[in-house]
Amino acid sequence: MWVYARHPDTGELVPVGQIKDGRFIKKVRTRQKLRVMDAYGIDASVVEELRKQGVTEIELHEVDTGKLYNLPLPVFLEKAVIRSIGKFPPRLYLPLRYWATEEGGEESPPNRNFR
């Protein structure tokens, strides 16, 4: 199932990711990263839809590097911070150091000690 959000400039509904087997899968590019936090944002309205749909995990696919980040949705909800930046709607951000990563077949555990 595709998940949609409104484009900040046009107001059109645009696909932002898919829900498959309880996972929200979102493709991102490094240029979309909020560099000051080293985090990708997910619109608050999308996060609410994920909760309604019973999503249990988030996967980010960084298409220009091949990295895969994943995290249980409850952890994301507990630790993410909400920010309204520029023209974009409120988004939830969680630094990538808290996500489990997979790169070139090797997995590294997350650092979930939030300070």
pTM: 0.84
Classify residue 109: in a domain, yes or no.
no
Classify residue 83: in a domain, yes or no.
yes
How far is residue 17's CA from residue 2's CA, in Å, rounded to a whole number?
Answer: 6
Q: Give the residue numbers spanning the domain of 90.
A: 2-98
pLDDT reported for residue 86: 86
Give SS3 for 114.
coil
Classify residue 104: in a domain, yes or no.
no
Classify residue 74: in a domain, yes or no.
yes
Rounded (5°) CA angle 27-58-13: 55
pLDDT tens for the chain, 115 residues long, are 999 998 888 989 999 999 999 999 999 999 999 899 999 999 999 999 999 999 999 999 999 999 999 999 999 999 999 999 888 899 999 999 999 998 754 455 555 544 4
Q: Which amino acid would we find at residue 29? A: R
Q: What's the domain count of the chain?
A: 1
